[in-house]
Structure 1
Amino acid sequence: MTQTGNANDTTRFDTIIRNGTIVDGTRSPRFRGDLGIRDGRVAAVSRSPLDAERADRVLDAEGLIVAPGFVDLHTHYDAQIQWDPYCTLSGWHGVTSLVLGNCGFGFAPVAPEGRDRAMLSMSRVEAIPFDSMKEGMLWDWVTFPEWLDSLERMPKGVNVISYVPVGPLMIWVMGLEEAKKREPTAEELAEMCRLLEAGLDAGACGWSVQRLGDGFTSVQRDFDGSPMVTDCMSDETCFAFADVLKKRGGGHIQITQAKDDFREDLKFLAKLGERSGGPILFNVVAANNYHPHQSKRLLEWAEDCQKRGIQIYLQA
């Protein structure tokens, strides 16, 4: 992309957006200007008017903000995108790309006989109406790679990418009840890692998990009031999944972590980042009127991790 305004420039554009207030995402002050788009990309940004004769189409953005699309890193549109291609309200408010499969929650792999139970879980933990899922979900997949294929076929008004949510992996391999009360055997863990690899090979950007324990921090529970499958999974299981990313040399981890001891949580997250070698997206940092120092200390901790080469990023 170039900054341009040269009257002698004869570059052709598919579209020119004129007279907009440009907010370019670089933290620079907004300014009035024109954009030239070629081959689906922003090819020029100009504070001076671009010649309308250089474009096949000219759009007047007078009185409007022109900005890059927002990327929503944390959504639970896994069901809704199947009947709402714009993922409203996000798509209405400038979100052009979003991430599915957060918190270890999702719908793949899910066997046909487990579909209703998977939807019941999401009806409580993410407040998605069961009837809407029952009527609107396509269910033309079983495995995670097949789910990505289904996503590819769906008409979409936004770009999407997905984590492999580890909850469905555990249920697929161990069964729902067993996954809630014990650790996987070595053979079961190896199979889950194999399925994770298959999901990453198919195009997933990493894996996700929620670990809220079974105490006072367990605020996102299953349909029956019990903890979610991943809430009580061990550090060792998480590290095994992190090792998959380390071996591949890439991939993100999104983790919602809040167990009984916050200091121990932070130690675990730093170690998880070291084991995976990749970015950790941690939920959540939030301003707190009663304890305003907490968010500041969390930011300082993340900065310290960065200095040590551990890629910790906080989600608000």
Structure 2
Amino acid sequence: MNEENKSSETANQGQKRRNTILTVLSFVFIAIGGIWILSLFFDFHRYETTNNAQVESYINSVTARVSGHIESIHFEANQFVHKGDTLVVLDDEEYRIKVKQAEADLAVAEGNLHSLEQNIITATSNEAASKNKLAGDRADLDKAEKDYQRFRNMYADSAVTRNQYDQVISKLESTKAYLKAGEKELLASGSMAKQSYTNLEAARATVARKKADLDNALLQLSYTRIIALADGYVGERTISVGELINANQVVATLVLNQKLWVTANFKETQIEKIKQGQEVTITIDALGDKEFKGKVSGFSPATGAKFSMVEPDNSTGNFVKITQRIPVKIDFEATAKELENVKPGMNVTVEIKK
């Protein structure tokens, strides 16, 4: 009986000891939880935080400016390329033929221009000759009029015969006729010279247009070589040799890593406490929660919903008030070397100290 009492007493003491330990542990866990909750409370008061944020970068779509079959491809997926590197070469035979046609049209236009320039020289010479001939005809007319006056007086005094007097009259009339013909010839040669100058201007305009056509043909030919317009990493390769490419079709996508930033979507109720230039702690999920420093550089002029493809219509009456998000741009304060493992699209957590 005594042994049973002792055993029961020992069991009761063990149970009390366990209960005491459990009680102490419970108080410890409650205290730790309370401290954690208080720390979160004070952190929330000192920081504005969101995990609705991603790394952003400029993405350049490389498009074809002319159509044609792909002759060769000079890049692979995820490859780094430099500005000016050739990415795709299109079959250019059709565009070379168009260049030759434009060159031939230009040669014809320049030939016509040279011919008109020669015509102007001829017309100018003819006009000058007509002026000189007209001056001679006027001198002949002046002499013929003087002879007529003299012979008329002599004929009145019977100093010359009728036949001689008639010859002087005939000479006067023929000289007048030659003068009128010379005036008309000068008018005609002047008109031809003016027309030649007009045609010359039209020919020069034609040459200028043909030169522009040639420049355009050469430009179209240059577009058969599609190049990278900036340094960056090529995305997925979705084209193959022999494929027909149409104008404005995307042949590659370049991710430009020269400039990275974070777009953090804060609640509209948080924006009041965020100012431009505030320091930011950026934690990147994919890099083992590695932290980077940044600064607030700008705010979106509208909420994210306003920029969505289908904006919600609250005028239908089925209205549920939802806290809106406002995108905030945050610039990294890190070198390109430090950001080499940071990729656009990575999820981040942002903390902004108030």
Question: What TM-score bracket applies, with the shorter chain setting the length?
Answer: under 0.3
Instruction: Report the TM-score when normalising by structure 1.
Output: 0.19
Instruction: Report the TM-score when normalising by structure 2.
Output: 0.18
From the two aligned structures, give the one with the greater helix fraction.
2
- Greater relative contact order (Cα < 8 A, sep 6+): 2
For the pair shown, which has the larger CA radius of gyration, 1 or 2? 2
